[in-house]
Structure 1
């Protein structure tokens, strides 16, 4: 297969390895058919990987390994207790004043450490009837002032559906803020519409886009360009990362990420300790190592470029700072 013949999204491991000029013998412990959570890598993301490098940090995030099949104590299918926080189908309320609305089960990119990789979207995911129940519950609770759109990835909704949802939320008088959490700006930057940025900027709700980048190499010129467009439109841009062994578990990588984010108009927000989701134990970085890394980052960067090292603990009132 010629490189130009490759699909826009890789769903077969051999196609991805061929695109990256990687021999399977260079990679041990590959899982070509991971159960329940298959490979999904947009070509736009794969093009930023270093060809011929089996240790590329972007590849490491998406490469399915047989290690994911191992049972590891403490690694479970619902590590942040989403099920316990469900107030209506697809509506999670964990923290005071904020609600998280799952608007789709689809993702642009399947990250192997994803804390919702086992989430039963077929039972609790979005549908028109479920969305109506969730919006009714949001309107009923006068304590809620902010809604976070999540999934899956909310920016995979088509423009009409997303605009309709924003309009519905704008009609709830107690809401003042809207937040969108998305990997789309990094995974498929061409899908990030400037019209949506203008729509959010014109909304009566203060809008924030929280992107998810773990390594500076994810932020190429195409990503930076669309992020600058959103910044220029007046949407606040933040980034949250996950600390991952073999991806960004060194101070130089974290510093380069923060500096590249700022170049793209994005402020570092959170650096998450790995959620102990079943299948992700090989990404674990110890708390002691994480704290040492952040000390080095803090010594070399101004404070506004240092993300907050946090962990989500089920039932807690907020993310728990570790630094």
Structure 2
């Protein structure tokens, strides 16, 4: 099934998502960064609220032309850790394969926004993949392989199955992980055949679903997630803390409960990476810490994600969460959800 996708400012204007006054101001944004918004997702936007959580994530804004000091086209240092084209080896026991540069929808805050889009090429070539598989084969310390992009589920089911089969043949690769927005942005692509393509009887398969607001979980998205879980694929979440999208305790709580209610274990809540033109989405770390502490005080432990930052340059991830443990002189104390401080016996 072909789902129409809005791919230009003119198309967004025709759909009523961009005003006549705003459209001319977006020409430079359109020239710089890819646009794609599937019509089913566009229909979910609350047109009475220009700051609707879905609209804000996917409809371009003139604020994207505001480039700040410290922002970078490669904010997490992919390039310096790429020994083979299309592969990133940042941590000793795992590698990341950028399987394709295209996405079903282009997020306005994407940390790879200067690396993705139709003009960047559709996918890795067969020769690229063979070089990557040779690298994985030659490095027995690689325990986990992560498929990303772009969105790796833009690949055909046949191509996804081929990648699964090649990776599960390496005895040292015990985990295959796919990072995708597809279940919430194009759930129609999550078919039983695609689920079979991702599943493995030899290797643990995880799929990280990227969503940032509970409203992304339509009935079709929920069905897509449950289909994947039914194929034995473990589902985890990843989200980005975004101003005007999920920067309240209520919105974050609703999002984490939405994940959990469809069998997705909340995993990562990312502090926004410093990609060009994304400062209008940035939530200060101190505010993020307060929000995550409030989540810990109000939600089940199953529903609380790790609040993390990718240190610029590709050093590593760092936890940003406030600790409930503090040292007082020669003793330790812990904070309770009631705000009280209690001595810790050791």
On whether the aligned pair clears a TM of 0.5, the verdict is yes
Note the alpha carbon deviations across 1:126-184, whole angstroms, 9 max, x for none.
22222111110011001001110111111110111111111111222211110000011
Find the counterpart in structure 1 of residue 290 from structure 2: 292
Asked whether the 8 Å contact 1:12–1:32 carries over to 2, the reply is: no
The change in CA–CA distance for 1:318 and 1:126 in structure 2 (over 3 A counts) is: same
CA distance in 1 between counterparts of 2:267 and 2:24 reads 34
Asked whether the 8 Å contact 1:22–1:53 carries over to 2, the reply is: no
Find the counterpart in structure 2 of residue 38 from structure 1: 34
Asked whether the 8 Å contact 2:101–2:149 carries over to 1, the reply is: yes
The change in CA–CA distance for 1:56 and 1:203 in structure 2 (over 3 A counts) is: same
State the Cα distance separating 1:199 from its structure 2 match.
4.2
Find the counterpart in structure 1 of residue 214 from structure 2: 216
Note the alpha carbon deviations across 1:44-96, whole angstroms, 9 max, x for none.
21122112321101000112122212231111111000100101010101112
The worse-fitting range, judged by mean Cα deviation, of 105-114 and 200-209 is: 200-209
CA distance in 2 between counterparts of 1:304 and 1:49 reads 29
Asked whether the 8 Å contact 1:90–1:124 carries over to 2, the reply is: no
CA distance in 2 between counterparts of 1:220 and 1:122 reads 30
Larger Rg: 2
1:229 aligns with 2:227: yes
1:96 aligns with 2:92: yes
Find the counterpart in structure 1 of residue 135 from structure 2: 137
Find the counterpart in structure 2 of residue 83 from structure 1: 79
Find the counterpart in structure 2 of residue 249 from structure 1: 247
Note the alpha carbon deviations across 1:84-111, whole angstroms, 9 max, x for none.
0101010101112100001111111100
Find the counterpart in structure 2 of residue 149 from structure 1: 147
CA distance in 1 between counterparts of 2:315 and 2:198 reads 28
State the Cα distance separating 1:36 from its structure 2 match.
2.9
How many residues were matched structurally? Answer: 316
Asked whether the 8 Å contact 1:29–1:67 carries over to 2, the reply is: no
TM (normalized to structure 2)? 0.86
CA distance in 1 between counterparts of 2:9 and 2:120 reads 26
CA distance in 2 between counterparts of 1:205 and 1:107 reads 26
TM (normalized to structure 1)? 0.92
Asked whether the 8 Å contact 2:164–2:197 carries over to 1, the reply is: no
The change in CA–CA distance for 1:23 and 1:55 in structure 2 (over 3 A counts) is: same
Give unpaired runs (5+ residues) of structure 1: 1-6
CA distance in 2 between counterparts of 1:124 and 1:109 reads 14
Find the counterpart in structure 2 of residue 161 from structure 1: 159
Find the counterpart in structure 2 of residue 3 from structure 1: none
Secondary structure of 1:88's counterpart equals coil
